[in-house]
Chain A
């Protein structure tokens, strides 16, 4: 029979619009979170990080929001551009060391 691949959640936005990519985490004790961008055929690239004692952190055209009450993290990209098309995934610090738990990712598609 036909095999079905595992598909990532996909978000499609128009160029110039704002994008919001969401991530739920499971460990309420997690104290550090990171967002990565992975373009097709390339390795992940660090975008922005946030500590659990913060609710919001801004970078260049990106903002990360952390809602510890519902264990939710979001990445907002302002004025989305075609070059923003990629898979975005979040990671949370595991325990007290440097190991990370990586999310599975969301595919962002920017249409003209």
Chain B
């Protein structure tokens, strides 16, 4: 089944404790991205990657890091989480030739206390 998977689905952590949210897709998509979704604000892009070893900042990259060492994986790293990073996070991927038909993962709900 074609899908984007994220782990963990739920995470409660404390300020300053480094964490990684994994994302993997099995569709051989070149493009992957991370979004956060907050009430009243809609989806906002954090980082994206056009291909392996190519990443770029989205609209709200502060406090986040990403890496793209393999085509299928695109982990999101929070080196020192803060409470304002409490949010619902989505990973997405798409085919190069279909720029807007993104496939989203199921989401990771992160709470930073």
- Footprint of B on A, CB under 8 Å? 5-6, 32, 34, 41-46, 49, 89, 91, 93, 98-105
Contact = CB atoms under 8 A, between A and B. Distances in A.
B58 A99 contact: yes
Interface of B: 4, 39-45, 58-59, 90, 92, 99-107
A43 B40 contact: no
A42 B5 CA distance: 11
Given A42-B107, A43-B106, A103 B101 contact: no
B3 to A, nearest CB: 10
B100 A98 contact: yes
A1 to B, nearest CB: 18
Contact of A32 (B43, B100, B102, B107): B100
A102 B42 contact: yes
Given A99-B58, A102-B43, A104-B40, A44 B104 contact: yes
Contacts of A46: 100-103
